[in-house]
Amino acid sequence: MKQVWNMYFLRQMSVTAAVFLFALSIVQDTHANASLENQKIEILNKLKMLTQSVATSACYIGSFYEADRYSGKLSQSIDTFNANLDKLINGEEITDFPKEDDPKILAQLKKLDTNWKLLQFASDILLRTSKLPGLDVDIIAEFNMPTLEQADRAISAMEQQYTSTKSDQANIRTLQLIGDQVVLVQKITKEFCLISYQYASVKDRQRLRDAVRLFDQNLMDLTKGNSAENILSAPTKGIVKTLGRVSDNWEDPREILLKIADGKHATYDDFDEITYMNKKLVKYNKIAQSQFLRYFQSQSGE
């Protein structure tokens, strides 16, 4: 009788263990999927930023402001964009990053690739003729925004596929906004340079003014939250501190940018200030992005 009981007990333990391991595998798969989804969106945010970085570098080259340095940055941006877009579409064997198999997302990524090829074509010409910039800078100025907008559409396709709960939506929307801030820093720098280069119409100046105001609004939303836009407030003291550093490094260049938008001609010192702003704001926004991501992962048990 005792032997029968032991066999029954062992069988029950085996069943319980199997159920537990199965449940654990589901949880692990869920967390792995969430992590992969965050990685994909993060890569697309990087591509968005690079579209503006390419345009900024092109404009700086065209303005003969540290042209050699920005030729190097332009070349690096092109290589980074190509590597990351290829990773999203075709996967990366060395890191076990899977190729995209969702048809809707894949279609948007391929459209992004088409837009990017036009931008890259003009960028490659500029790199070969950086001592005599001209039409290539104009082409880059024209094509960078459609490429950025297509990257946005690819992110929207991902969000539609990935978000299942209101909490998911808020997390992704907040991460997206902090990613947008990095892109916006590059866009603001680009608009500043293009106005100084030759694009100085009322519309061009208004575009810079609008970008400055959007940065202000986004920074406030990330710090205090915005329930209407499904944006979470900064959840930790560390994130609040980092966003405070963003604010500190934004204050002085913000005044310069608004004066440029109002008609002031940029000086070499202005270029120095905005270039320094770009470096600092990208740095601190990326730190905040990592902090938000770690917080959301800790909340979901990843």
Where exactly are the structural domains of the chain?
45-162, 164-302
pLDDT of residue 20: 36
pLDDT of residue 33: 57
Quick check: 43 and 88 in contact, CB under 8 A?
yes
Conformation bin of residue 105: beta by default, left when phi > 0, alpha when psi is -120 to 50: alpha
pLDDT of residue 37: 83
Quick check: 207 and 187 in contact, CB under 8 A?
no
Q: Does domain 45-162 have CATH number 3.20.20?
A: no
pLDDT of residue 278: 94
Quick check: 194 and 141 in contact, CB under 8 A?
yes
**Closest to 250 in 3D by CA, of 163, 188, 160:** 188
Quick check: 53 and 186 in contact, CB under 8 A?
yes
Conformation bin of residue 301: beta by default, left when phi > 0, alpha when psi is -120 to 50: left
**Residue keyed to tokens 């600092």:** 280
Low-confidence ranges of the chain (pLDDT < 50): 2, 4-6, 8-10, 13, 15-31
Residues 6+ apart with CB under 8 A from 142: none
End-to-end Cα distance, the chain: 46
pLDDT of residue 4: 46
Q: What is the pLDDT of residues 106-138, one digit of tens each?
A: 999 999 999 999 999 999 988 888 776 666 778
Percent of the chain as helix, strand, coil, to the nearest 5: 85, 0, 15
CATH of domain 164-302: 1.20.1440
The DSSP code for 228 is G
DSSP string, 85-150: HHHHHH-BGGGTBPPP--HHHHHHHHHHHHHHHHHHHHHHHHHHTTTS-SHHHHHHHHHHHHHHHH
Q: What is the pLDDT of residues 68-98, one digit of tens each?
A: 999 999 999 999 999 999 999 999 999 999 9
Q: Residue 293 has which token pair? A: 């991501």
